[in-house]
A and B are shown apart, each in its own frame.
Chain A
């Protein structure tokens, strides 16, 4: 599902949109570690919903750049936010029409897949069941059809890591609660199984995709899903784990990561048992 550009070299420079974010920060650090020049543009540098954002971005881009588009107003839970997010992508596409770059990488989400998809692969239909997923599907399409550039779309599953600014239900929240000695409260008995990816692994995949100028679609997931209760058990320390009456039906999500194994034969995701203890305490 993803193809590498034969003979590709590391990009001369990577421009990152969304510099302050979880994925953008980790990706910038990974690129810097490899000596790849980075221009990280946060909202303070460039507000993609502001009038003239396209021209402002175009003025920053060079033909040999790679553009890593991470920026989003997330989670996208209202129609207004949806339209703002689309306006951001529209500005990026308009900028690229004027100042094309050598490679475009878009960080999407596994929210593009329907909830009924329980074994997800890159060829699974995109049938979002949330505005957030719809936003990513629309942005993917806007970039795919609105630019003619070599494009990689990366769709991460649930992320965790110490620097996660969110405190959503999952490893980060569990670990923080455990660190404070507070009980970990589960939805139902935490039966839902999900695939949790360490942020360092996301950054590594992003780096590899940029270096090999890869194009196509790739999910970022470990291929191993655990129940929230199992994750809570890993994170708990001495904290109590508390179940609650279930309000929603149980749903699971697993990933078939064959495409990633084929794309990066020497890459291995860290298991959550190894990634969680020292990394997501926050």
Chain B
């Protein structure tokens, strides 16, 4: 049986990573996107996104990858994934118009036998509502994680497929393609699969919200969340991969979208979603932890100079969607901020006192406080001696515990992190 040829329509983050993963699994891949400029970039190997291992895999499997800005090129594909990341606004609401437009654009060009698989982030009920032959229409849960997108696409834990009906085998071509990923395949009806994706994300949010709440209390009580979390991981009901690392709320857009979707569904269907609204409120509170920490550490902050390390919402990505770093900087007004990020380059200044520098040391130079706002690996190399030589002040705000807090405190720094108390400061404004 010949291998099916796979199309990816919509070459945003999801489409590019999924397409490269499919090529790496040995399939010929055609990527379609209506923007000729993007296709030109991709043809040159100039990738518009940052993900670990993506550049290497792209080069390695380049011979199986082709790109087109003409939807007619999709006619050669046996399976076409709709892989455009659904944009969200600042309230987490999805804009599905681009997805519908893309379906309308490619639909007439697909081969009569071709399967259309919705891979993008859509609400329950969306797939069945599409004006497309249901026997050729499937939905597949994407589990993209920014910063681990290639790894997740290449080696999924399981593949969840939404089908028009329960209990029927998947089409042979789809079965063959998915089998190449060597993981369990879970077919279910469209609505179950669509809600399954949201269910996964909400369980993650629940876990991280609990961790944030208890890490905060650890700080206030004099406990250390880093000592507690390993005990939880050994509980089989919680698990060793549970999201227990405290952070600065929910960012990136995808989890926020699902939280909003559940509230909308509950509102429409008469369900109780108070706990989900609680997650949303909790996330908003955590997001401003940096601002509160700066306020507490530097009461006279108007004269302060802050070094902010990291602008992305998390490491290994250029995305700044709902980034806590930008939430902080945006609230600092004219306070001087020198920010460094390994990949993010801002075109607009988020505050009057903001400058972006291209060197980590430059961000720290003469700073009263250094804030490690994104856990990029390269920040781990900072040690007290280096920062003492660079900084004017002695305050380190390190929510993700990238640094050895004890070493910094021993060196005379005020060190603030999530989940454990700082050495007491007795001064008052």
Q: Are B335 and A268 in contact (CB under 8 A)?
A: no
A262 interface contact, C-beta 8 A: yes
Q: Closest residue of chain A to B288, judged by CB? A: A258
Q: Is B428 an interface position by the 8 A CB rule?
A: yes
Check if A77 is an interface residue, CB within 8 A of chain B.
Answer: no
Give chain B residues whose Cβ lies under 8 Å from the Cβ of A257. Answer: 292
The 8 Å CB contact of B291, one of A262, A269, A270, A274, is A262
Residues of B within 8 Å of A121, CB to CB, are 285
Contact of B302 among A258, A262, A266 (CB under 8 A): A266
Which residues from chain A contact B345 at a C-beta distance below 8 Å?
Answer: none
**With A258-B285, A258-B288, A258-B291 in contact, is A265–B428 under 8 Å at CB?**
no
Q: Is the CB of A269 within 8 A of B335?
A: no
A266 surroundings in chain B (CB, below 8 A): 301-302, 333-335
Smallest CB gap from B353: residue in A:
A265
Q: How far is the CA of A271 from the CA of B427 in the complex (A)?
A: 10
Q: Which of B288-310 contact A (CB under 8 A)?
A: 288, 291-292, 295, 299-302
Contact of A261 among B281, B285, B292, B429 (CB under 8 A): B292
Query: A33 to chain B: closest CB distance in Å?
Result: 19
Considering the chains assembled together, what is the distance between the CA atoms of A262 and B335 in angstroms? Answer: 12
**Complex: chain B residue closest to A260, CB-CB:** B295
Interface residue count on the B side (C-beta < 8 Å): 17
On chain B, the residues within 8 Å of A261 by CB distance are: 288, 291-292, 295, 331
Q: Mark A222-234, 1 if CB is under 8 A from B, else 0.
A: 0100000000000
Answer whether residue B211 sits at the interface, using C-beta atoms and an 8 A cutoff.
no
Nearest Cβ distance between residue B308 and chain A, in whole angstroms? Answer: 14
**A256 contacts chain B at the CB level, 8 A cutoff:** yes
- Is the CB of A273 closer than 8 A to any CB of chain B? yes
Q: Are B429 and A258 in contact (CB under 8 A)?
A: no
Q: Give A223 to B299 CA distance when docked, in angstroms.
A: 13
B286 → A minimal CB distance (Å): 11
- Let me know if B29 is at the binding interface, CB within 8 A: no
Q: Are B335 and A265 in contact (CB under 8 A)?
A: yes
List A143-193 residues whose CB lies under 8 Å from chain B: none
The reply to whether the CB of B23 lies closer than 8 angstroms to some CB of chain A is: no
Q: Could you tell me if B331 and A265 are in contact, using CB atoms closer than 8 angstroms?
A: yes
How would you classify the secondary structure of chain B's contact residues: helix, strand, loop or mixed? loop
Q: How distant is A277 from chain B, measured CB to nearest CB, in Å?
A: 11
Q: Which residues of B contact A270 (CB under 8 A)?
A: 428-429
CB of B161 closer than 8 Å to a CB of A: no
Total chain A interface residues with beta-carbon distance under 8 A = 16
Residues on A with beta carbons closer than 8 Å to the beta carbon of B334 = 265-266
Question: Is B65 on the interface with A (CB-CB < 8 A)?
Answer: no
B208 part of interface (Cβ distance < 8 Å) = no
Which A residues lie within 8 Å of B428 (CB)?
Answer: 270-271, 273-274
B332 CB-CB contact with A under 8 Å:
yes
Min CB gap B354→A, angstroms: 12
Are B301 and A258 interface neighbours, CB within 8 A?
A: no
**Residues from chain A with Cβ under 8 Å of B291 in the complex:** 258, 261-262
Given contacts A268-B295, A268-B300, whether A262 and B429 have CB atoms under 8 Å apart is no
In the complex, A270 Cα to B429 Cα: how many Å?
6
Chain B 46-73, CB within 8 Å of chain A: the 1/0 string?
0000000000000000000000000000
A274 smallest CB distance to B (angstroms): 5
Given the known A-B contacts A256-B285, A258-B285, are A265 and B292 also in contact in the complex, defined by CB atoms under 8 Å? no
Task: Tell me the complex Cα distance, A273–B427, Å.
Answer: 10
Question: A266 vs B428: C-alpha distance in the bound complex, in angstroms?
Answer: 16
A258-B285, A258-B288 known; A265+B302 contact, CB < 8 A: yes
Interface bits B378-412 vs A (CB < 8 Å: 1, else 0): 00000000000000000000000000000000000
The answer for the CA separation of A250 and B249 in the assembled complex, in Å, is 31
Q: Which residue of chain A is the closest to B429 with respect to CB atoms?
A: A268
A268: chain B residues at CB < 8 Å are 295, 299-301, 429
Mask: chain A, 249-282; 1 = CB below 8 Å from B; 0 = not: 0000000111001100110111101100000000
Q: Could you say which residues of chain A place their CB within 8 Å of the CB of B302? A: 265-266
A273 contacts which chain B residues (CB < 8 A)? 428
In angstroms, Cα B427 to Cα A274, docked, is 10
A269 neighbours in B (Cβ, 8 Å): 429
Question: Which residue on chain B has the smallest CB distance to residue A119?
Answer: B285
Least CB distance from B295 to A in Å reads 5
Most buried by A among B299, B300, B334, B429: B429
CA gap between A123 and B295 in the complex, in Å: 21
Q: Identify the A interface with B (CB < 8 A).
A: 121, 123, 223, 256-258, 261-262, 265-266, 268-271, 273-274
- 20 A-B pairs whose Cβ atoms sit less than 8 Å apart in the complex: A123-B281, A223-B292, A256-B285, A257-B292, A258-B285, A261-B291, A261-B292, A261-B295, A261-B331, A262-B288, A262-B291, A262-B331, A265-B302, A265-B331, A265-B334, A266-B333, A268-B429, A269-B429, A270-B428, A271-B429
Given A265-B332, A268-B299, A274-B428; 16 other pairs, CB 8 A cutoff = A257-B292, A258-B288, A261-B288, A261-B291, A261-B295, A261-B331, A262-B288, A265-B301, A265-B334, A266-B302, A266-B335, A268-B300, A269-B429, A271-B428, A273-B428, A274-B429
